[in-house]
């Protein structure tokens, strides 16, 4: 575990003088895909299966823009702070997601949306991904990943002292209503081994 954690540090810290997302990009290209997702996997929002080696976009469940703002930066591309680089490249917060859903979610908070109205209807079957419109838009993911999303958010809020964006009560409910699956536990143990630290919101279920 120690050796792999040192490798991760070595991949990230050469870029600490840059005021952009190079630390995250390094972890994405050198750790996330070749080590954490080096086998067949499913996307976060829709659960579609993808073969080994097929890369889709990588979602910050706690958005990188929120992390930048919490560190006093105007955006994720202009945040020359070590705290931002460390948080934005944390494996416990990174998940594979199809591009259109990643873009549609952007930095919108999660919530419960009444009814069932998928955002995109040109798919068969449609993905259970809902989003409202307007300045106060929110997103509701499919029920089966609400726990995974909640535990990533709770971890980031705890680990990096980030604001909960008004979601704390909701995501605590999601955490308890949707316990970790065997696959989430496997992913967590792999991320823990690669990065060298735990997520107590998953550990409580182990």
Q: What pLDDT digit, counting tens, does each position of 76-129 carry? A: 999 999 999 999 999 999 999 999 999 999 999 999 999 888 899 888 888 999
Query: Could you tell me which residues come within 8 angstroms of residue 130 by beta carbon, excluding any fewer than 6 positions away?
Result: 113, 116, 117, 118, 119, 139, 140
Better-scored residue on pLDDT, 8 or 40: 40
In tens, the pLDDT along 130-188 reads: 999 999 999 999 999 999 999 999 999 999 999 999 999 999 999 999 999 999 999 99
Looking up tokens 């823990």, which residue turns up?
A: 192
Q: What is the mean pLDDT of residues 5-9?
A: 44
Using the CB atoms, write b or e for 174-189: b if 16+ within 10 Å: bbeebebeeebeebbe
In tens, the pLDDT along 35-74 reads: 999 999 999 999 999 999 999 999 999 999 999 999 999 9
Quickly count: other Cβ atoms within 10 Å of residue 18's Cβ. 12
CA dist., res. 42 & res. 97, Å (int): 8
CA dist., res. 199 & res. 203, Å (int): 6
193 pLDDT higher than 80: yes
CA dist., res. 206 & res. 19, Å (int): 38
Query: Could you tell me which residues come within 8 angstroms of residue 30 by beta carbon, excluding any fewer than 6 positions away?
Result: 11
20 pLDDT higher than 70: no
Looking at residue 9, what is its pLDDT? Answer: 42
Average pLDDT, the chain: 91
CA dist., res. 54 & res. 133, Å (int): 31
Q: 108: helix, coil or strand?
A: coil
Q: 49: helix, coil or strand?
A: strand
Better-scored residue on pLDDT, 19 or 146: 146
Q: What is the mean pLDDT of residues 9-36?
A: 72
- Residue 111 sits at the vertex; the CA angle it makes with 192 and 64, to the nearest 5 degrees, is 45
């Amino acid at each position: 575990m120690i050796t792999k954690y040192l490798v991760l540090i070595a991949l990230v810290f050469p870029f600490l003088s840059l005021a952009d997302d190079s630390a995250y990009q390094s972890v994405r290209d050198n750790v996330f895909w070749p080590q954490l997702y080096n086998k067949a996997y499913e996307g976060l929002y829709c659960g579609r299966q993808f073969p080994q080696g097929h890369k889709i976009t990588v979602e910050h469940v706690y958005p990188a823009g929120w992390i930048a703002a919490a560190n006093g930066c105007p955006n994720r591309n202009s945040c020359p702070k070590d705290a931002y680089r460390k948080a934005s490249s944390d494996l416990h917060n990174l998940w594979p997601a199809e591009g259109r859903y990643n873009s549609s979610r952007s930095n919108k908070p999660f919530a419960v949306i009444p009814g069932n109205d998928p955002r995109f209807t040109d798919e068969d079957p449609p993905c259970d991904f809902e989003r409202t419109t307007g300045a106060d838009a929110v997103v509701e993911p499919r029920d089966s990943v609400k726990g995974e999303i909640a535990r990533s958010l709770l971890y980031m809020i705890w680990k990096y002292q980030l604001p909960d964006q008004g979601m704390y009560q909701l995501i605590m409910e999601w955490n308890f209503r949707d316990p970790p699956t065997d696959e989430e536990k496997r992913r967590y143990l792999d991320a823990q081994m690669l990065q060298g630290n735990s997520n107590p919101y998953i550990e409580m279920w182990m």
